[in-house]
């Protein structure tokens, strides 16, 4: 089986493109890499872009792009997807730096874009704003978590890292504990997008910077149980939730357990089904606003 090996970028619609672009460049500190009519491409170093913002009637995440490994074959991957009875499309030069992309829809209607990176871009990390290391994961509300989880595992080659009860799955496509997570609620929509910070010190600087710029924390800082990452959440101007995290569990795939850490309760920490109640190790409870949007 050919498995996708990393999340490359995610694409978002937003009614006010200028305002959301300012947030991504001035607050989050991503580098603007390219601009087209009604689209902005924002970078993290070696990838030409990690985030694409497009003008749209409603804020949401419509596409997620994944990269294949250097020795994987896109034609063979396309056959693998079609083998599941899924309709695919190929597009040439769809976005800057991508020459050939395979697209198809996941069961909740989000476009999957799978490609091989032919060349590296060479943007430097910005010297202003929060400046995360990378796009870490995108979380979605889904109406049928078992069905969508099976799709990501069977079609894209994801692995299950953990479950919270039977309603929240955490899926990996590389060493990071989760790249996609899916929470069953009453609708299919974006839940949050997460960027990786260096460490706890970076998180403090980020929280102070957000506060000075008028952004309130929706939840955190704290340390989650599932994934064991330090976390904090806030809302972008378009209303979409951004998570900033650090110290997320990392899987040693050969050995089948997450790299041991002092804050783990299981030794070794292996993929499992957690209880349905909040599992945070420490930190404040979520605000009422955060809880409302989780329902
Ligand atoms: Fe998250």
Centroid of ligand 1 to alpha carbon of 190 (angstroms):
11
Give the Å distance between the CA of 187 and the centre of ligand 1: 18
Distance 267 CA to ligand 1 centre (A): 23
CA of 22 to the centre of ligand 1 (A): 23
Question: Tens digits of per-residue pLDDT, 78-130?
Answer: 999 999 999 999 999 999 889 999 999 999 999 999 999 878 888 889 889 99
Q: How many angstroms separate the alpha carbon of residue 2 from the centre of ligand 1? A: 26
Ligand 1 centroid–CA 191 distance in Å is 9
For residue 82, the CA-to-ligand 1 centroid distance in Å is 30
pLDDT of residue 77: 98
**What whole-number distance in Å separates Cα of residue 103 and Cα of residue 115?**
9
223 vs 29, 97, 240, 271, 290, CA distance in Å?
Answer: 24, 37, 22, 18, 16
Tokens of 180: 């996609």
**Cβ density class 51-67: b for 16+ within 10 Å, e for less:** bbbbebeebbbbbbbbb
Residue 60: strand pairing partners: 13
Report the separation in Å between the CA atom of 175 and the middle of ligand 1, taken as the mean of its atom positions: 16
| Mean pLDDT, the chain, whole residue set | 96
E strands of the chain, at which residues? 6-14, 31-36, 39-44, 47-55, 60-67, 89-95, 98-105, 111-115, 134-142, 159-164, 168-172, 180-184, 189-196, 217-223, 230-235, 241-246, 251-252, 257-258, 272-274
135 CA distance to ligand 1 middle (Å): 11
Q: How far is the CA of 130 from the centre of ligand 1 (A)?
A: 17
Q: How confident is the model at residue 267 (pLDDT cuts 50, 70, 90)?
A: very high
Using the mean position of ligand 1's atoms as its centre, give its distance from the Cα of residue 138 in Å.
Answer: 7
Q: What is the pLDDT of residue 5?
A: 97
| Number of Cβ within a 10 Å radius of residue 252 | 12
Q: Are 135 and 195 a contacting pair, CB within 8 Å? A: yes
Q: Which is nearest to 139 in space by CA: 226, 32, 16, 75?
A: 226
- Residue-level pLDDT at 102: 98
Q: What is the pLDDT of residues 170-217, one digit of tens each?
A: 999 999 999 999 999 999 999 999 999 999 999 999 999 999 999 999
Distance 291 CA to ligand 1 centre (A): 14
pTM of the model: 0.97
Contact 107, 148 (CB under 8 A): yes
Ligand 1 center to residue 35 CA distance, Å? Answer: 28
Q: Are strands 111-115 and 31-36 parallel, antiparallel or unpaired?
A: unpaired
Q: Calculate how far, in angstroms, residue 192's C-alpha sits from the geometric centre of ligand 1.
A: 7
Residues 202, 199: Cα–Cα separation, whole Å? 5
Residue 73 CA, ligand 1 centroid: distance in Å: 30
* pLDDT tens-digit series, residues 185-198: 999 999 999 999 99
Whole-number Å distance, alpha carbon 74 to ligand 1 midpoint, is: 29
Q: Are 131 and 125 in contact (CB under 8 A)?
A: yes
Determine the distance separating the centroid of ligand 1 and the alpha carbon of 37, expressed in angstroms.
31
């Amino acid at each position: 089986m050919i498995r996708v090996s990393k999340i490359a970028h995610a694409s978002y619609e937003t009614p006010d493109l200028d305002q959301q672009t300012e947030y991504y460049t001035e607050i989050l500190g991503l580098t603007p890499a390219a601009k087209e009519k009604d689209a902005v491409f924002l970078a993290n170093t070696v990838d030409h872009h990690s985030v694409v913002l497009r003008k749209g009637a409603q804020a949401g995440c419509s596409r997620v792009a994944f990269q294949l490994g250097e020795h994987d074959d896109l034609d063979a991957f396309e056959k693998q997807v079609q083998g599941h009875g899924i309709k695919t499309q190929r597009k040439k030069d769809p976005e800057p730096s991508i020459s050939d992309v395979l697209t198809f829809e996941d069961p909740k209607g989000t476009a999957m874009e799978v490609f091989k990176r032919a060349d590296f871009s060479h943007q430097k990390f910005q010297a202003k704003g929060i400046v995360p290391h990378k796009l870490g994961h995108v979380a979605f509300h889904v109406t049928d978590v078992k069905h969508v989880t099976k799709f990501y595992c069977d079609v894209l080659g994801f692995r299950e890292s953990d479950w919270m009860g039977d309603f929240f799955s955490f899926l990996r496509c590389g060493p990071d504990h989760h790249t996609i997570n899916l929470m069953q609620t009453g609708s299919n929509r974006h839940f949050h997008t997460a960027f990786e910070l260096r460490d706890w010190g970076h998180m403090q600087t980020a929280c102070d910077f957000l506060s000075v710029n008028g952004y309130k924390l929706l939840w955190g800082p704290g340390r989650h149980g599932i994934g064991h990452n330090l976390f904090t959440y806030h809302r972008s101007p378009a209303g979409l939730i951004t998570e900033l995290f650090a110290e997320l569990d990392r899987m040693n795939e050969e050995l089948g357990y997450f790299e041991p850490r002092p804050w783990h309760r299981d030794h070794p920490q292996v993929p499992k089904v957690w209880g349905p109640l909040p599992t945070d190790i420490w930190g404040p409870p979520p605000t009422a606003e955060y809880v409302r949007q989780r329902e």
